[in-house]
Amino acid sequence: CQRRLSRHARTAPRVRNRAHIPFFTVHRPGSCYTRAQALAMPETKPKIVVVAGPTAFALTSVAIKLAQMFNGEIVSADSIQIYRYMDVGSAKPTNEEMALVKHHMIDIRDPDQEFTAGDYVKEARECVENIAHRGKLPLVVGGTGLYIRCLLGGIVDLPHA
């Protein structure tokens, strides 16, 4: 591995903490700012917690405990839990689990309805904002990385094909 690196790359100092670098960029949806500019901006987005992982990895039980500890509500980020009647293989929360903590974005579409990542972002952002507006902590929980990346990083609004 060392042989493939250029002489400059091998001798360049390693940076452990980028906080002191003045041009370290911070990305926000649609823009790129220097670290100083980003730190000077007021934080307008609600704070959220993301619990991500594969199906059947006990995400729901962890999220329920976190929601109970920190007065939160759960926003599902699972592409299968969106659909009604698709309970097998989706690890949907049981009725008992859903009674413990309020869940959002579960059973909101029929299987024959189209649902895109853009649709998810629009509806999940509404849920997150409503939860935060009520003074609770939104927990985004699931295993669909595309949904989570689009929710956190934004998505380009293009016309439908």
pLDDT tens digits for range 16-64: 444 433 333 334 444 455 555 555 555 667 788 999 888 767 888 999 9
Q: How confident is the model at residue 10, as a pLDDT?
A: 41
Prediction pTM value: 0.70
* Residue 108 vs residues 26, 105, 136: alpha-carbon distances, Å: 34, 6, 22
pLDDT at 12 over 50: no
Distance of CA 39 to the CA centre of its chain: 22
